[in-house]
């Protein structure tokens, strides 16, 4: 097999072969549109998440930072190169 | 400057610890000084519009959030190019300046702390060249 390129993207698994369309078609499909999109000038969506902080596992909640400036930074993955 | 940092990726908080201990602590004395949050299901990434459905990762998204919880600035990049921290710091300082003046002043392109800011109003219309020109950008 050809070697995967070693980029910054996270390699992920995916199902192979034919999709089981029949079974899927019989399922009541619940459309969960949870993709809100954020805009400048609007409230930042609050969240809570498990986190690592100075040697401890401490959950973090954005709304705990009200009254402070926050830089929220997403990135593709730990141990990637950039 | 007083800015709290939160980083988010789809890695578990356990992996965050390993990354901090084995790599980042060798680049930053004392290790990472902020919360490294875990969003394995991508719920937060979706809410902020940085979720990559195909790869199951979050793109490089950076949001400056003010003390009222309002997003003042955002920047989203695809993975292979890294950010420039100095520009984020400049933007935070500029937003802090605007907030300190209760919105009475605005900062021109390339503005840095200590430089003249703009006081929008009838007297400034057509006169910006008197207080600012692009050569003043450092």
Answer yes or no: do A34 and B56 touch at CB < 8 A. no
Q: Which of B79, B100, B125 is the last residue of a domain?
A: B79
CA–CA separation, A17 and A26 (whole Å): 20
Q: What is the CATH number of the domain that holds B70?
A: 3.40.30.10
B130 in the same domain as B68? no
Min distance B11 CA to chain A CA atoms (Å): 6
Measured between CB atoms, which of B4, B57, B63 is closest to A65? Answer: B4
Dump pLDDT digits (tens) for A17-76.
Answer: 776 565 555 555 555 555 557 999 999 999 999 999 999 999 999 999 999 999 999 999
Smallest CA-to-CA distance from A59 within B32, B8, B118, B19 is with B8
Query: Residue A43 has what DSSP assignment?
Result: B
Dihedral angle over CA of A20, A26, A32, A35, nearest 10:
30
B51 in the same domain as B9: yes
What is residue A13's predicted lDDT score, i.e. its pLDDT?
Answer: 72
Q: Which of A37, A71, A76 sits opposite B58 (nearest CB)?
A: A76
Task: Find chain A residues with C-beta within 8 A of B50's C-beta.
Answer: 74
**B105: exposed, middle or buried (Cβ count in 10 Å: 0-12, 13-18, 19+):** middle
Q: Are residues B6 and B64 in the same domain?
A: yes
Sketch the domain layout of chain A as residue ranges.
42-68
- Give the domain extent around B94: 84-138
What tens digit of pLDDT does each residue of B107-126 get? 999 999 999 999 999 999 99
């Amino acid at each position: 097999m050809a070697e995967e390129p070693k980029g910054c993207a996270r390699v992920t698994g995916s199902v192979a072969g034919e999709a089981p369309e029949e079974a899927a078609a019989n399922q009541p499909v619940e459309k969960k549109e949870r993709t809100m999109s954020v805009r400048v000038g609007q409230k930042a969506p609050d969240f809570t998440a498990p986190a690592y902080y100075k040697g401890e596992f401490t959950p973090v909640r954005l709304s705990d930072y009200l009254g402070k400036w926050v830089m929220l930074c997403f990135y593709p993955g730990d141990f990637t190169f950039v | 400057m007083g800015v709290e940092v939160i980083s988010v990726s789809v890695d578990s908080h356990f992996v965050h610890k390993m990354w901090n201990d084995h790599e980042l602590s060798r680049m930053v004395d004392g290790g990472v000084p902020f919360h490294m949050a875990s969003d394995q299901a991508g719920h937060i990434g979706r809410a902020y519009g940085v979720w990559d459905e195909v790869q199951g990762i979050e793109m490089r998204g950076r949001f400056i959030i003010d003390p009222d919880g309002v997003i003042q600035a955002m920047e989203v990049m695809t993975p292979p190019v890294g950010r420039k921290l100095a520009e984020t710091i400049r933007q935070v300082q500029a937003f802090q300046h605007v907030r300190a003046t209760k919105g009475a002043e605005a900062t021109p392109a390339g503005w840095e702390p200590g430089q003249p800011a703009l006081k929008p109003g009838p007297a400034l219309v057509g006169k910006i060249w008197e207080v600012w020109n692009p050569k003043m950008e450092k």
